[in-house]
Structure 1
């Protein structure tokens, strides 16, 4: 708790009820507060980021992530807004993989493929608050236990996720997971960002993006990697220097056209790292807001909001339309369990899966 110059106290962590599931389970909201009005609200349903308020170059605050006003909205339509996705983020071809010569068939929920954990992944589960506090910084730890066989995955997996205000306007996410059987795991956050503020009418095509990747994964129309990584050189996927998101969306490039924009994994330089390094940078020229993504993961899925189709109304009465927001999802590569040449998603008993990502906000 912080004491202001007027002598009033400013609580850095606020915990309240967000709603109730049909079975009566309480879903909580936790607000974590940093400097200059920076505030993050997360909910225990899907361990999702519901809002992030960030100051612009003039100090004006705006909410920069898509979300819903109430729990009923999250329950009604599955859109992964700010959600924690797992047990395996992204796609697995045919919903099938082998592990130690045993074949596992997962439910398919994206055509013939499995996507973001299946029919009822981590984004559709109530998580438990297992730790919360203000020292040494505002934080909350959420936990979820996925039992052996849930959505077809082997092993009981216990996951802890800590959200922390790790700087004045910086949010850190740290995942730790352990299993009692060999299994696969790939966890990420699926926030949709619009640095101009999601209450505004504009989209993200004029946001400037940089990604620290020399290669990306070409995909089929269904979103499955076709083969080895390709170089970004002389393609619309070259974001090694800052470029507006929409600058090359209409290029005569099959990879852009088949997904109506970007929905591809970028292979980050250096692969998986012990500590987070800068993977991507987004800037909104109008407001001056900047987001840097730092992560220890080997890949980042860049999604330009291609399939936001106007069927969902989010916070502030805003209808979510194509290119209204973008996602940067740090993770291992899609379909890794079927691709031994990709970074492994395997975890064994006695080992801990560790994923750390930082969202650093600033303003120019």
Structure 2
């Protein structure tokens, strides 16, 4: 049942492999070998599950069509040593049998929380599964993270990737409308992981898709509290004790949420009295503009990750509920061992009139673009 296919493209590129806002480097001239390797590793409910390796000669990204999953990201440090920088399992097959806190997953139809697991559209009330206390989280019992997507590999002279499609039928997990979603996940020659969603529905529905990768730029040697963060956000949405937004949009000034200048994560966690699991407000109005959301630096390894998106917010989660979790490479993930930067609409938006609308109507197209750009500072 297994097969392997390899596509390769070689290009000679001159590129700047890392430039921070305050740091410049000489361009590195090297040969980039773009390659995709695909292998069927399992079947799930009669559908083939594949493991994909995307390689540009400098870094590798491993994906799966199970859950639209980012399995691993293997990136060099300032000394050229390559390490996995995501929380994960050793194999894709383990995702089929072991519970996990949405490692690398595509979350949908609606990522994040919906208060009281219910919402109304045009006077019709829709009841969803309560998967997080009395609330609904990340699409339900079997959200998009547990679906087998239909995959197709592609490549050109600058990217290698996998295109995946999934049809969520009317009534699935309680949501209205037949919703067809296409997901592109690709690695570029200049060390960017691009993720793009497009969706259309035949009935009015709600939608909020994201990727839920947990990062640790230090290569999982310890927790992520030594990472430096900078957010281009001047507001956030406070939450109640169940992590449901209160409806307030609060200025970050004078709060632990003010990352407008670079801050060490551990210092801000201490100032906040706990970790973060909050929506950082990146835009007040919808637009197609790709905005620089976040820069994360890890001084010891030299790794830098810049996140860009065209969405409205980013859920900043610092692994607050991780505890004694057996992960890949014999590592045990503890509290704050990784962080998520989940580009998305504001949480529970359907229940807050002052939040950007998550409604998708027939004839409309939902689009969402995310870029994680990786580099190194010496």
TM-score by length of 1: 0.92
Relative to structure 2, which stretch is displaced further, 92-101 or 125-134?
Answer: 125-134
Hey, what does 1:320 align to over in structure 2?
Answer: 333
Hey, what does 1:20 align to over in structure 2?
Answer: 43
Aligned equivalents of 2:229 and 2:101: distance in 1? Answer: 23
Aligned equivalents of 2:92 and 2:185: distance in 1? Answer: 20
User: Which of 207, 218, 237 does residue 238 from structure 2 map onto?
Assistant: 218
Hey, what does 1:40 align to over in structure 2?
Answer: 61
For residues 271-295 of structure 1, give each alpha carbon's deviation from its aligned partner in whole angstroms, at most 9, with x where no partner exists.
4331311000100010010000100
Task: Map 1:252-271 to 2 at 5 A.
Answer: 256-257=272-273, 260-271=274-285
Q: Is the 8 A contact 2:34 2:56 kept in 1?
A: no
1:233 correspondence with 2:233: no
Matched residue count? 351
Aligned equivalents of 2:307 and 2:150: distance in 1? Answer: 26
SS of match in other structure, 1:246: helix
Deviation at 1:32, TM superposition (A): 1.3
Return the structure number with greater strand share.
2
Q: Is the 8 A contact 1:13 1:134 kept in 2?
A: no
SS of match in other structure, 1:237: coil
Q: Is the 8 A contact 2:108 2:145 kept in 1?
A: yes
Please give the root-mean-square deviation of Cα atoms over the aligned residues, in Å: 1.8
Hey, what does 2:171 align to over in structure 1?
Answer: 149
User: Which of 171, 184, 194 does residue 162 from structure 1 map onto?
Assistant: 184
Q: Is the 8 A contact 1:271 1:297 kept in 2?
A: no
Q: Is the 8 A contact 2:32 2:189 kept in 1?
A: no
For residues 102-136 of structure 1, give each alpha carbon's deviation from its aligned partner in whole angstroms, at most 9, with x where no partner exists.
11111110000000001110001111104533455
Deviation at 1:306, TM superposition (A): 0.6
Task: Map 1:23-102 to 2 at 5 A.
Answer: 23-36=45-58, 38-75=59-96, 76-102=98-124
Q: Is the 8 A contact 1:194 1:325 kept in 2?
A: yes
User: Which of 328, 335, 346 does residue 359 from structure 2 map onto?
Assistant: 346
Aligned equivalents of 2:137 and 2:229: distance in 1? Answer: 26
For residues 67-119 of structure 1, give each alpha carbon's deviation from its aligned partner in whole angstroms, at most 9, with x where no partner exists.
11224421321320000000000000001111111111111100000000011
Hey, what does 1:307 align to over in structure 2?
Answer: 321
Relative to structure 2, which stretch is displaced further, 106-115 or 60-69?
Answer: 60-69
User: Which of 353, 356, 359 does residue 369 from structure 2 map onto?
Assistant: 356
Q: Is the 8 A contact 1:97 1:337 kept in 2?
A: yes
Aligned equivalents of 1:301 and 1:94: distance in 2? Answer: 20
- Change in Cα spacing, 1:351 to 1:249, as seen in structure 2 (3 Å) is same
- Change in Cα spacing, 1:4 to 1:359, as seen in structure 2 (3 Å) is closer
Hey, what does 2:344 align to over in structure 1?
Answer: 331
Runs of 5+ unmatched residues, structure 2: 1-7, 13-30
- Change in Cα spacing, 1:281 to 1:161, as seen in structure 2 (3 Å) is same
TM-score by length of 2: 0.89
Q: Is the 8 A contact 1:13 1:139 kept in 2?
A: yes
Runs of 5+ unmatched residues, structure 1: none
- Change in Cα spacing, 1:4 to 1:182, as seen in structure 2 (3 Å) is closer
1:117 correspondence with 2:117: no
Aligned equivalents of 2:64 and 2:153: distance in 1? Answer: 14
For residues 179-212 of structure 1, give each alpha carbon's deviation from its aligned partner in whole angstroms, at most 9, with x where no partner exists.
00010100000000000113x2x11101000111
